[in-house]
Amino acid sequence: METRAHFHAELEALKGRVVALCGQAEASRQGAVAAYLGRDLALARQVIEADRAINQNTCDIDEACLKLLALEQPVALDLRRIVGYARVVINLERLADEAVNIAEGALAGAGLPGDCDGMLVALSDHVAAMFALATRAFVDDDVDAAMEVCRFDERARELAVSAMRCITEALSQCQATPETGVRAILACRSFERMAAHAANLGEILVFIVKGVILSQKCQPR
Amino acid sequence: MQQSVKMAAETLDFYYGRFRALEGINLEIPEHQVTALIGPSGCGKSTFLRCLNRMNDLIPGTRTEGAVLLDGVKVNVPSLDVVELRRKVGMVFQKPNPFPKTIFENVAYGLRVGGVTDRNFISAQVEKSLISAGLFTEVKDRLYDSALGLSGGQQQRLCIARAVALEPEVLLMDEPASALDPIATQKIEELIAELKRNYTIVIVTHSMQQAARVSDLTAFFYMGKLVEVGPTEAIFTRPANQQTEDYVTGRFG
């Protein structure tokens, strides 16, 4: 007989709220990319506006985690889930912040210098794939998928470095204005940060399911 | 730091008549540590606890196979002096059970039964035991009042004082706080943390939060078997066994 059915139902509902926040963050990411590449100012403003709701939902979920920790005194998998959800929402909120940064770049007059547009699109597509996989891993408690997301982070870094090198060269050859070049570099940086947040989601999922901390900042135990 | 093993069970089976209540238990109890035994009702944790000082001997039709060791010496052999074993391995029960005597006499009782007659020694030992049990300051002015006038929490600490007066090496506690209010429970838990400096403690508890708070090592029993034993921190954050995980998170029990 399940003795904590009510608590576990609350936990399941909390997971649903985190998954919904994943959806909001993904909508922001998609909107920001479309606004930047298509120079769509209205869409860029929508992304910036939507960030308020994401911030509020992050705070609400964080508070719900705190409440469950205090009132239910969870242990083992339940404890790891709640701690994990609190960490996940921080990463989602920051990922959405990067989307806002990209959208703000679009508002300021985005542009892709030289032949670098393909590289930025490749980086953006890679981040999209990482985040989609991270979300699926989270929904399904799929450790293999989560580990794959972590491994994809290295490729994201490579793509970001290539794109930034391309932009720098375009700037040095006067194929782009400094403003356009700097905005493109900042967009690269934002995509790279998004990839890192997606990889963090993978690490957190491994922590939730296996109790293993993968973060490079932590010493193995 | 590696702790030395104070008590151990080796392939221990225990039977109530034909019913096997414990099955192949292998468990080492480290010295000066608190080992918590957890598991659902009927899993064998209290039976195991009572095997450690042979309290089950008092139940007709029971038998033990395998070994229970104290400092490497097998204690479940007929030739062993059970009274001496219980002096070394004391016990505190679920419900406080003070004798209808004065507070002083309750603590002195075991010493007198053991043949100690030196009044000064007995007085010193009573005071020391009451201090160890965190009760002395509360009762020092009424040592000759009836123990039955104490609160439930005080009575339980008196029982702990009565147990430690004999200077045992191991203290067995069978749900020592389950009949107490939260404040009295906190006092008992604080006391356990103090007592482990001098004693090896084994505690049966139905409260997993209590096991998490007071113990260094946790052993999970289920249907007469030891499913998992490990550092308490590991059992309550990332248990290795799925049954343990399901039990501590309330998915069964």
On whether any CB of chain B is under 8 Å from the CB of A79, the answer is: yes
Which residue in the block uniquely carries the two structure tokens 């009575």?
Answer: B155
Distance from CA of A72 to the nearest CA of B (A): 10
Residue A218 lies in a domain: no
Best to test chain B binding among A3, A75, A208 (most B CBs inside 10 Å): A75
Q: Which residues of A fall within a CB distance of 8 Å from B230?
A: none
Tokens for A99? 């989307």
Per-residue confidence (pLDDT) for residue A215, from 0 to 100? 77
In whole angstroms, what is the distance from residue B72 CA to residue B69 CA?
A: 5
pLDDT band at residue A217 using 50, 70 and 90 as cut-offs: low
Say whether A76 and B249 touch across the interface (CB within 8 A): yes
Closest by Cβ to B209, choosing from A2, A3, A73: A73
Over residues A118-145, the pLDDT tens digits come to 899 999 999 999 999 999 999 999 999 9
Task: Report the pLDDT value the prediction gives residue A175, as an integer from 0 to 100.
Answer: 78
> B133-139 long-range contacts, Cβ below 8 Å, gap at least 24?
B133/B157, B133/B158, B133/B160, B133/B161, B133/B164, B133/B191, B134/B187, B134/B190, B134/B191, B134/B194, B135/B161, B139/B103
A3 contacts B250? CB cut-off 8 A: yes
> Is residue A221 in a domain?
no
Interface of B with A in 206-235 (CB under 8 A): 208-209, 212, 235
3-state secondary structure of B176: coil
B205, B207, B251: best mutation site toward chain A, by most A Cβ within 10 Å? B251
A183 to chain B, minimum CA–CA distance in Å?
45
A135 is a domain residue: yes
Closest chain B CA to residue A78: B249
Write out pLDDT tens, residues A153-198.
999 999 999 999 999 998 888 877 888 888 999 999 999 999 999 9
Q: Is A79 close to B237, i.e. CB distance below 8 A?
A: yes
Residue A44 lies in a domain: yes
A221 has a pLDDT exceeding 60: no
Per the CB < 8 Å rule, is A75 touching B208?
Answer: yes
Can you give the CATH number for the domain in which A64 is found? 1.20.58.220
Contact status of A69 with chain B (Cβ, < 8 Å):
no
Given a cut of 90, is residue B3 above it in pLDDT?
A: no
Compute the nearest-CA separation of B221 from chain A (Å): 17
**Residue A181 belongs to a domain:** yes
Q: How many structural domains comprise chain A? A: 1
pLDDT digits (tens, 9 = 90+) for B172-200: 999 999 988 988 899 899 999 999 999 99
List of chain A residues whose C-beta atoms are within 8 Å of the C-beta of residue B244: 76
Q: pLDDT value at position A146?
A: 96
d(CA B135, CA B129): 9
Q: What angle do CA A61, A66, A72 make, to 5 degrees?
A: 115
Q: Please name the helix (run of DSSP H) or strand (run of DSSP E) that holds residue B15, with its range, or none.
A: strand B5-16
- On whether residue A220 sits in a domain, the answer given is no
User: Which residues in chain A have their CB less than 8 angstroms from residue B236's CB?
Assistant: 75-76, 79
Task: Write the residue in A3, A8, A77 that is nearest to B245 by C-beta.
Answer: A77
**Residue B179 has what pLDDT?**
86
Give the residue on B whose Cα is nearest the Cα of A4.
B250
Best of A10, A77, A207 to mutate (most B CBs within 10 Å, chain B)? A77
B76-135 confidence digits (pLDDT tens): 999 999 999 999 999 999 999 999 999 999 999 999 998 999 999 999 999 999 999 999
Q: Which domain holds residue A99?
A: 2-210
CB atoms under 10 Å from CB of B196, counted, come to 19
**A3 vs B contacts (CB less than 8 Å):** 250-253
Three-state secondary structure call for residue A27: helix
* Domain membership flag for residue A217: no
Question: In this predicted structure, what is the pLDDT of residue B2?
Answer: 64
Average pLDDT over residues B149-154: 95
DSSP state of A128: H
Please tell me which of the candidates B209, B235, B249 has its beta carbon nearest to residue A78. Answer: B249
Fill in the amino acid letter for A201.
L
Look at A77 and B209 and tell me if their CB atoms are within 8 Å.
no
Contact present, B42 and B102 (Cβ < 8 Å): no
Residue A56 lies in a domain: yes
Residues 103-142 of A with CB under 8 A from B: none
Taking the Cβ of residue B120 and every Cβ of chain A, the question of whether any pair is shorter than 8 Å is answered with no
Stated pTM of the model: 0.85
Q: Please check whether residue B123 is in contact with residue B196, taking contact to mean a CB–CB distance below 8 angstroms.
A: no
A56-81: average pLDDT: 95
- Helix %, strand %, coil % of chain B (to 5): 40, 25, 35
Q: How far apart are CA B149 and CA B34, in angstroms?
A: 31
Complex ipTM: 0.76
pLDDT in tens, B34-80: 999 999 999 999 999 999 999 998 899 999 999 999 999 999 999 99
pLDDT in tens, A25-55: 999 999 999 999 898 999 999 999 999 999 9
With an 8 Å Cβ cutoff, is A8 touching chain B?
Answer: yes
| B220-250 pLDDT tens trace | 999 999 999 999 999 999 999 999 999 999 9
